[in-house]
Amino acid sequence: MSLDNPKYKKMLDDLLDECRKHLAGVNEALITKAFEFSLEAHKNDLRASGEPYFSHPYEVALIVSNEIPLDDVTVVCALLHDVVEDTEFNLDLMIKEFGREVAEIVDGVTKISGIFKGQEITQAENYRKLLLSMVKDVRVILVKFADRLHNMRTLEFVNPDKQRRIAQETIEIYAPFANRFGLGQVKWELEDLSFKYLNREAYEEIARKIKSKRKERESYIKKFSEPIILKLNDYNLKFEINGRPKHLYSIYRKMVKRNKPFEEIYDLFAIRIILDTENSNDCYTTLGIVNQMYLPVPDRFKDYVSIPKTNNYQSIHTTVIGPEGRLVEVQIRTKKMHEVSERGVAAHWRYKENKAASDKELENWVNWIRDIFENASKEDARKELLESFKLNLYQDEIYAFTPKGDLRRLPVSSTPVDFAFEIHSKVGYHCIGAKVNGKIVPLDTVLHSGDQVDIITSKNQHPNKNWIKFAATHKAKTAIRKWLNKEEEDIIDAGKEVWEKKIKKLKLSFTPSDVAKLTLNLKYETPKLFFKAIGQGKINLEEILTATKEKEEKKEKILGFDNFANLARTDIGGVLVDGKNSGILYSYAKCCNPIPGDPVIGYITIGEGIKIHRKTCTNLLRISEKDASKLVPVQWPEGEGSLFVAGLRIMGEDSPGILNEISHSIVSYQNTNIKSININTSDSSFEGSVTIYVHNLEHLSRIVDRLRKMKGVYSVERFESA
């Protein structure tokens, strides 16, 4: 394929002719180079229609040269717009062959195309904003509009499902977007073509009815216009007058909205008078002529010439009563006003779409586009505008989308974590990683408009406190904090549960003040932090509680023994020194804590009188070696019937009647008398103490043996000092 082929030579000549007609400056060499490059790149490809694929970029280039003209760079980009996406040639080659400016526009068109491939169209307004936020050069959008327009014109060659999907996408996104860009004619055509494939039955019925009334309408418009034409000629005004084109989708939408049949909607005739003049006063002269010919309807007059709409739309609208009493809407405007209306600004976009005041920025931005169109013929102004044209609309937001095409609007600096929580809190909580545009990235990667984000989850993953540092959305931060707080509470609760099970197992009891004291002793500020440390396994609770239990048991043992010893000694009346109760000061040694029944001896101390020791006391043996002269004989007085009090500690398995069994075992041996008995049960075990009167140690040993042989008794020990 080359320009030696007459067919392609003619195609290039036709394109260059259109460029010369509509563009201020034309780099013919660059356009020719792009033409040849595209022809070569697509030489082996066919369209669904069976035509060579090159016919598509060529037609798109024709559209941007004569239907939505801006400059020659746009024509070059139109020729090349599918090369990177559909052939083996890459962006680096584009930069090398055509420069960075052309390459960036081609790349922008490719990215926009990628957004919609195979996606369901939902949240159309978000998609429009996404397009705006992605595009830094207005020419990207113009090429995309031309690309879509040609695709819609040739949509008959693709399968019905694809027809509907593309038509839906066009009517929801591209048509309203074209309207905002001031491309009125493009908008109407995109809507009508979409309507054709989305509701063919309604489309064909309306088209048929319009066709059937065409001659009648043309005849009426001619009859209505003739007297106006004569009068305008009398005033030497240059003008063109014609019936306003009726767009099928517009008629259909009015039928649905007003719930009226075609005949009532279509019955309103409309003409447009376009004056070839620079003087806007000629519009009022024309209005006066129309009102002389026909009676005006008072409440149907609007003057947008003296007071333009906020988007600079200018025209006079009036409705008059024509022949046969029919209403006719008349629009009067200059040629320049008509150009602005059709191509220079988004005519009616604010008025008809009833957009909120927040779109003021967009309105101003569309006026920039109008300036670009209006100044396209002034080379310097055009270049200056294009160079300074950077899109900052929605700069505080980005638009990223899921692999299924769902849009998510996020603040600038958002990360995959923000995106995950935007989808659902469960996705956020279990987010372990992300793919952005197909590549795995860290969770703190900053997202950009147009990014496709695929969140990777794991049921074992949970938020950690580092996420707070890079999360940008309030939703994500709140959810992360909520999780971390809940996680902490769960750990504290788990710690409490472990604590309670352990103290129950070890038969310990702690008051809140006991827990607070233990917490402070272990260097934790609050019990909550103490329980958290238990839950996290940072504390060897077994070791702490075992030490506490031993301490408690020792304390209990000492207290229990001291109570018993005092009772036993008081009961027997103390000791006799040298065989008599002489009133000499004495006390019982803490090192061996003798009790009635133990062989004892006294030791004279300085300042504390006589200390009573067991004869087997190692401490006594050590001090007596130094000075045996301080030893004095002492003895327990003989009790009632030579009895003394002995104490026993019993532990065993709890069972019904255990107290009776213990009592019976003691009493049934030599009618042993019980002084006191106390049993405490916990879960399935018991622990208790018994004080009894015995004659001697032999008597006591027999009782101990009897008790140890009882079923369920673990241990029987005599009260001893700790």
Q: H or E segment at 176?
A: helix 175-180
State the DSSP string of 611-677. Answer: EEEETT-HHHHHHHHH-GGGEE-EEPPP-TTS-EEEEEEEEEE--TTHHHHHHHHHHTTTTPEEEEE
418 is annotated as an active-site residue:
no
Q: Which among 644, 574, 128, 622 has a CA at the least distance from the CA of 393? A: 128
Q: Which residue(s) pair with 634 in the sheet?
A: 577
Distance CA 615, CA 620 (A): 8
CB 440 within 8 A of CB 431: no
18 is annotated as an active-site residue:
no
Distance CA 341, CA 331 (A): 12
User: Residues 67, 86, 97, 101: which is the catalytic one?
Assistant: 86
Distance CA 27, CA 73 (A): 8
Kindly give, in sequence order, each residue whose CB lies less than 8 Å from that of residue 129, ignoring residues fewer than 6 positions away: 394, 397, 399, 409
Three-class secondary structure of residue 509 per DSSP: coil
Longest dimension (CA), the chain: 160
CB 652 within 8 A of CB 712: yes
Using alpha carbons only, what angle is made at residue 39 by residues 35 and 42, rounded to the nearest 5 degrees?
135
Kindly give, in sequence order, each residue whose CB lies less than 8 Å from that of residue 124, ignoring residues fewer than 6 positions away: 172, 173, 176
CA distances in angstroms from 475 to 50, 427, 441, listed in the order given: 52, 13, 22
What's at 418, amino acid-wise? D
Q: How many residues does the chain have?
A: 722
For 53-91, give the secondary structure using H, E and C: CCHHHHHHHHHHHHCCCCCHHHHHHHHHCCHHHHCCCCH
What is the per-residue burial (b if ≥16 Cβ within 10 Å, else e) of 147-186?
Answer: bbbbbbeebeebeeeebebbbbbbbbbbbbbbbbbbbbeb
User: Residues 67, 85, 339, 454: which is the catalytic one?
Assistant: 85
Distance CA 58, CA 35 (A): 8
Rg (CA), the chain: 51
What's at 55, amino acid-wise? S
**How many other C-beta atoms can be found within 10 angstroms of the C-beta atom of residue 236?**
6
* Residues identified as active-site: 85-86
